[in-house]
Structure 1
Amino acid sequence: MAEKNDYEDRLGRLRQALDSGAMNAVQRSLHALSPAEIGRLLESLPPSPREVLWGVIDPEDRGEVLLHLGDEVREGLMRTMDVGQIVAAAEDLDIDDLADFVEDLPETVTQQILQSMDARDRARLEQIMGYEPDTAGGLMNTDTVTVRPDVSLDVVVRYLHLRGELPDSTDCLYVVDRYGHYLGALSLDRILTLDAGRQVRDVMERERDPLTVDMSDREVAKHFENLDLVSAPVVGDKGMLVGRITIDDVVDVIRDEAEQRMMRMAGLDEEEDIYAPVRGAARRRALWLGINLATAFMASWVVGLFEATISQAVALAVLMPIVASMGGIGGSQTLTLMVRGLALGQISGGSAKALLRKELSVAAINGLLWALVVAAITLFWFGNPLLSLVIALAMLFNQLCAALAGVTIPLLLKKLSIDPALAGSVILTTITDVVGFFVFLGLGALILL
């Protein structure tokens, strides 16, 4: 908490200096911030002060800062840069970060960046760019340190001394044969603590399984989470070691996935600039609002079918929102549980059936409990036992229907290759509203009139 407050204080002082035009103070404040923190600050500023701040950022830091920005903010700032500045910003980036950086650049700019690199780095970059960005191949870096199994730990230590430095987040070396096939991993602690005369083949970790280049980024993140890894080797065809993935890349995947899920539930683009121009923001949100309007009209149409019933029993109109609201809340709880389970790979065919039974049981218990509570309140309020029976039955039925929909909708959307977090809540709300209104008003027509 203290670190968070200190960070917010620094950002606050920087904003004050920026507002007052004290650019020397702004530059001093920027030196105390990491590229990720500067990126967060840029995204929190409207376009005009954002461009002013961008102008005082050290050119050597601009590449790292751009990597921590959403696509829309990054594209806006890069429009203010000439080709030479973009190429200079890319020079000091790691190869895996550079692959992400050039992915959305114009072809002419990408070619200039490639031409500015030496042949070895250019080949490494082109290798990574040959894989889809959301796979292990697209995430990996090619800066692996390898050793052979038939050398002693003393030889390994002397080799590391000759190298002088290791790539960031290096916790182990990778053991390969003479043809480059991955054999295992040799952790740094074993190099430092075991007898220097022992052979690498005798002390290496053979159980550290490599990732394949076509593994999805979600599976990579789960692999790191399950095994508490700092880095992991990546292999291509025939088990050839082609690179490694480090924990910083996995953290980015987890963060991006969380942001995507949160924004998609509202029908928004996770890369959208919070200060985006009005016209573009309005256009992106119009479709989602249109879908919501269509579902609202569907619920209103159902209510309209019982216009005569409502006119004769006005109490139905008063109580009607309670049934739909309780069903929506119950269904949303189940839907959230399902979306999370699907994202974490915790739900399969057999477990889905067990989960459905469990959610229906929970819905039955809660539905019965709150149906009795609402029935008692209704009886006290309107003094009509039949009306209390109607709302109790409707609430119980809608809770069961909401649980059923909350389980089945995400499974169906996943089979259709539609993101459940994006479309699930709209469909669920429509079902609970329509079913709730129909059952409540239908029972009212049958029992009360």
Structure 2
Amino acid sequence: MPEAFEQDYPLQQLKQVTKSLNSGQFVQVRRMLAKTAPCDTALLLESSPHKIRTLLWQLVDPDVQGDVLEELSEDVRLGIIAQMEPRHIAAATEDMSHDDLGEVLRSLPDTVYKDVVSAMDSQDRERATQALSYQERSAGALMNTDTVTIRPDVTIDVVLRYLRLRGELPEGTDDLYVVDKHNCFIGAMSLTTLLTNSPDKIIRDLMDEDCESILISMDETDVAQLFERHNWISAPVVDDNDHLLGRITIDDIVDVIREDAEHSLLSLAGLDDEEDTFAPVLKSSKKRSIWLGVNLLTALLAAIVASFFESTLAILPILAVLNGIVPSMGGVAGSQTLTLVIRGIAVGHINQTNQRFLLFKELAIGAINGIVWSILIAGVVAIWQWDFKLGGVLAFAMFMNLVAAGIAGASIPLLLKKMKIDPALAGSVVLTTVTDIVGIFAFLGTATWLLV
């Protein structure tokens, strides 16, 4: 009986491999890797520090290196490929599927790519050219060309004999695609229908003529949403003239959904979703410094606004103590709205027809929160400092900033999307700038007007 897979199996394996490497038992590690699935080997490499990863890759069987490369994140894959000679990269990509080949080749630096293509034979070079002819992050880039096609005027018996002659079906096959003599897609025939009907029935009478196809130029996120909405396992890909070019399978869509989720999560912190967790210190520091620099500039901008009220702060030092409350509350409220709107954009819930309703909704939420929390903070400050006018100033600033945070959190992602800027990457920086400036100006400006 096969052993049940345990959730912490990769962790246990990493401990065993690390222990064996530290003791110099390289032959044992090679044997362990030979028994490990490519996806688990990829996880092992991604979970290992740089030096151990280099040793592990040297012990991976060259015959499965291509399968492992397919499973690696881009940053880790580039680091490993940098250690390989072009002829070895070409050999590793020899049996890759169409979509995985394109993904690996796109991640290569131009100089390395040229050397790798030169090392390929003519057939693989043609496959590489075709794989790279489609736009990145499109249906074409996700597509596999290993489709099984049949004609509409044949019987089920003819199709079954044809499948027996083939010997095997492409992985993830649930439908056979029906095409005419010009290879135009006209319908699909599920394997279930094929196996449960009489052998003498004609394909045309049983095929699904309403089967939806995917245009090759469609964005991969839109493709993923179609798969999610219709619960597809696979879907045909066609060109503008309905010629069948290939198919997309659910395993590739799972990768797209995971990558989009990671991108949205990490971009909010200014991080690259493909960043290697165990990358060298200087490399990681360089990547993160860019957004730290941007955040520093926005903080300086808020500080400049506060500097306009130096005289006010000198007269009423208590304002310096309370000054951080309003921007902080606005930042949290705005981040909540920003995250929900970015998610709504990502899953396709937000469009031109409901944007105005969304803005009014977030305005109303900001106003309600503003009233509740401004009354609360006004009461606390009035009792604490026994100064009801100061409490009122803080309440007004809190209300204004929470309203501004709601509007900004909803509108910033929509505006960035129209400008073709990633809302997940730039939204939080813009939002923080807005809430800081509005909060500081509303509080110190009102205090200067009423208290000084």
Bucket of the pairwise TM-score, normalised by the shorter protein: over 0.9
Partner residue, 1:80: 83
Cα distance, 1:349 vs structure 2: 2.5
Match of 1:378 among 366, 378, 381: 381
Cα distance, 1:272 vs structure 2: 2.8
Once residues 61 and 256 of structure 1 are traced to their aligned partners in structure 2, the CA distance between those partners, rounded to angstroms, is 24
Once residues 281 and 167 of structure 2 are traced to their aligned partners in structure 1, the CA distance between those partners, rounded to angstroms, is 53
SS at match of 2:248: strand
The alignment status of 1:97 with 2:100, answered yes or no, reads yes
The 8 Å contact of residues 124 and 142 in structure 1, kept in 2 or not, is answered as: no
Cα distance, 1:236 vs structure 2: 1.4
Partner residue, 1:140: 143
1:447 maps to amino acid: L
Partner residue, 1:10: 13
- Structure 2 gaps, min length 5: none
Match of 2:183 among 154, 157, 180: 180
1:161 maps to amino acid: R
Percent identity over the alignment is 46
Once residues 111 and 394 of structure 1 are traced to their aligned partners in structure 2, the CA distance between those partners, rounded to angstroms, is 65
1:210 maps to amino acid: S
Once residues 161 and 380 of structure 1 are traced to their aligned partners in structure 2, the CA distance between those partners, rounded to angstroms, is 85
Task: State how 1:198-213 maps to structure 2 within 5 Å.
Answer: 198-213=201-216
The alignment status of 1:273 with 2:276, answered yes or no, reads yes
Partner residue, 1:38: 41
Match of 1:109 among 83, 99, 116: 116
Show CA shifts across 1:146-174 (max 9, x none): 11001111111111111110000000100
- Structure 1 gaps, min length 5: none
Show CA shifts across 1:239-260 (max 9, x none): 1111111111111212222222
Point out the more displaced range, 50-59 or 104-113.
104-113
Cα distance, 1:122 vs structure 2: 5.6
1:394 maps to amino acid: A
Once residues 367 and 75 of structure 2 are traced to their aligned partners in structure 1, the CA distance between those partners, rounded to angstroms, is 46
CA RMSD across the alignment: 1.9
Once residues 247 and 69 of structure 1 are traced to their aligned partners in structure 2, the CA distance between those partners, rounded to angstroms, is 18
Match of 2:253 among 245, 250, 254: 250
SS at match of 2:176: strand
The alignment status of 1:218 with 2:225, answered yes or no, reads no
Cα distance, 1:224 vs structure 2: 0.8
Show CA shifts across 1:317-364 (max 9, x none): 111111111000000111111111112222222311101111111111
1:143 maps to amino acid: D
SS at match of 1:350: coil
SS at match of 1:275: coil
Partner residue, 2:308: 305
Number of aligned pairs?
A: 445
The alignment status of 1:362 with 2:362, answered yes or no, reads no
SS at match of 1:232: strand
Cα distance, 1:2 vs structure 2: 7.9
TM-score normalised by structure 2 residue count: 0.93
1:298 maps to amino acid: L
1:240 maps to amino acid: H
Match of 1:410 among 409, 413, 417: 413
The 8 Å contact of residues 96 and 125 in structure 1, kept in 2 or not, is answered as: no
SS at match of 2:218: coil
Match of 2:243 among 228, 237, 240: 240
Once residues 136 and 171 of structure 1 are traced to their aligned partners in structure 2, the CA distance between those partners, rounded to angstroms, is 19
Cα distance, 1:211 vs structure 2: 0.6
Cα distance, 1:281 vs structure 2: 3.2
The alignment status of 1:54 with 2:61, answered yes or no, reads no
Once residues 234 and 48 of structure 1 are traced to their aligned partners in structure 2, the CA distance between those partners, rounded to angstroms, is 42
Match of 1:331 among 330, 334, 359: 334
1:127 maps to amino acid: Q
2:410 maps to amino acid: V
Show CA shifts across 1:242-301 (max 9, x none): 111111111121222222223322223333333334443333333322221111111111
2:323 maps to amino acid: M
Partner residue, 2:23: 20
The 8 Å contact of residues 10 and 43 in structure 2, kept in 1 or not, is answered as: no
SS at match of 1:445: helix
1:274 maps to amino acid: T
1:107 maps to amino acid: K
Partner residue, 1:427: 430
Cα distance, 1:65 vs structure 2: 1.1
2:113 maps to amino acid: P
The alignment status of 1:346 with 2:349, answered yes or no, reads yes
SS at match of 1:284: helix
TM-score normalised by structure 1 residue count: 0.94
Once residues 107 and 400 of structure 1 are traced to their aligned partners in structure 2, the CA distance between those partners, rounded to angstroms, is 55
Cα distance, 1:209 vs structure 2: 1.0
